[in-house]
Amino acid sequence: MSNQTIVTEFLLLGFSDVRELQILHFVVFLVLYLASLVGNLLIVTAIALDHHLHTPMYFFLMNLSILDLASVSVIIPKSMVNSLMNTRSISYSGCVAQVFFFLFFASASFALLTIMAYDRYVAICQPLPYEMVMNREACVQMAAGAWISGILISTLHTGNTFTISFCGGNTVDQFFCEVPQLLKLAWSDSYLREVGVIVFNVCLDLGCFVFIIVSYVQIFTTVLRIPCEQGRHKAFSTCLPHLTVISLLLCTSSFAHLKTTSSSATDLNFLVAVLYSVLPPMMNPIIYSMRNKEINSAVSKWMCWRLFRKNKMSICLLR
């Protein structure tokens, strides 16, 4: 133990040693990042500027977009810089920050999706007291609870992960600091301690999942009792984006947990990490705007206003 090496930095998985493929990695991640950035910023801007969207559902959606934007900003830029600069290193403190903030934003997002399921339940199953139950103060408290739960879960995982002794080197078999890959470098007793934290987190996630399932069972039961077909269609249309986002998150996360962890599956690990860490934040704005006329209308109005203002300024300059 006296000869144990202190880890001061970690080496992340490189996409390739071929320079052309490194540039390709940079370009692909740049496109994915810009798509996430533009999509989520449009959602946040449209909801913030259009007073017709100042409702609980869109308030929670704006929070979700902020969390999605933050989560991809934690991991993608560093990977892009490493590919562009032909390096693999990340400092110890940088790895700690990456683990903390990614877990924080990811955990808060799932908690927020659970709250959004409750919002849909109250709106459809208890429409009369909806405004009283989902008032401004209650919505702010629920959103704050989601953010705080993310901080607590992230602090628990980060604290347990980085109090361990790293004896297996400093090479992380992933393009960002991922907790399961870091645990492979740990002493066995520390690993078992972190497994307990993971089990606790899985129980919390399972509880949220059960809550979502129960909420939608009640929602579907209520919607099927609506005599008007147009009313049923309208009720389902407000739930469909949320259900799609939940399904996407659960499918990618489940695949990530069920994937093989053998050392020969490096490429698979890389692909799965991209699926669960990059794909949902990029797809969520598309899913919510695809069948939502109010979001599309707000975005169109904002873009038209920006173009009109720009043209007006250009005319004034010409005069």
- Does residue 143 have a pLDDT over 90? yes
CA distance 119 to 106: 20
Per-residue confidence (pLDDT) for residue 72, from 0 to 100? 93
Neighbours of 305 (CB within 10 A): 11
pLDDT per residue over 5-51, tens digit each?
A: 577 888 887 667 788 888 888 999 999 999 999 989 988 988 888 88
Take residue 224 and report the two structure tokens written for it.
């099927």
Beta carbons of 88 and 32 less than 8 angstroms apart: no
Superfamily (CATH H level) for 9-292: Rhodopsin 7-helix transmembrane proteins (1.20.1070.10)
41 or 203, greater pLDDT: 41
- Does residue 261 have a pLDDT over 50? no
At 215, the amino acid letter reads: S
Q: How confident is the model at residue 191 (pLDDT cuts 50, 70, 90)?
A: low
CA distance 304 to 289: 17
> H-helix or E-strand containing 6?
none
Beta carbons of 170 and 148 less than 8 angstroms apart: no
40 or 168, greater pLDDT: 40
Per-residue confidence (pLDDT) for residue 263, from 0 to 100? 43
pLDDT per residue over 57-97, tens digit each?
A: 899 999 999 999 999 999 999 999 988 888 888 999 999 99
Question: What residues are paired with 227 via a beta bridge?
Answer: none
Using alpha carbons, select from 158, 153, 161 the residue that is nearest to residue 191.
Answer: 161
Using alpha carbons, select from 125, 147, 151 the residue that is nearest to residue 60.
Answer: 147
The conformation of residue 104, written as its DSSP 8-state character, comes to H
Q: Which of 19-28, 162-171, 257-266, 284-293 has the highest mean pLDDT?
A: 19-28
Per-residue confidence (pLDDT) for residue 266, from 0 to 100? 64
Helix (H, G, I), strand (E, B) or coil at 10: strand
pLDDT per residue over 288-312, tens digit each?
A: 876 666 776 766 666 676 665 655 5
